[in-house]
Amino acid sequence: QVQLVESGGGLVQAGGSLRLSCLASGRTLRQYFMGWFRQAPGKEREFVASINWGFDSTYYADSVKGRFTISRDSGKNTLYLQMNSLKPEDTAVYYCANGRGDRSGYDYWGQGTQVTGTN
């Protein structure tokens, strides 16, 4: 079992920044990928970014490339998503996930944290 707890969501003006955190426990993370996904109202959940925990390689959706940065602190078992230049269309519930692929194959999910970008 893997437990994932997100934090850091909130309300932010367009152009602003926010950092999400995800504390993970219950699995040796270096053997897996950790990712961020998001789901906006009325839309399907979509991939945002992921990191191969052991190799520190990162992957991004085109919509966030250059604005968002995924990182991890192995000592704290914590995943981060630094979000800069936020847009209203980034508004969604953001989920942290643990799995076996860069964009799919995720089998453990956090409860989600709301991010709302305003004009």
Mean pLDDT (the chain) is: 95
Cα separation, 87 vs 90, in Å, equals 5
CB-CB contact of 14 with 31 (8 Å): no
Tens-place pLDDT, residues 96-119: 999 999 999 999 999 999 999 988
Nearest to 52 by CA among 16, 118, 103: 103
Tens-place pLDDT, residues 40-59: 999 999 999 999 999 999 99
Kindly state the helix (H) or strand (E) to which residue 61 belongs, with its residue range.
none
Tens-place pLDDT, residues 2-47: 999 999 999 999 999 999 999 999 887 888 999 999 999 999 999 9
pLDDT of residue 66 exceeding 90? yes
CB-CB contact of 65 with 2 (8 Å): no
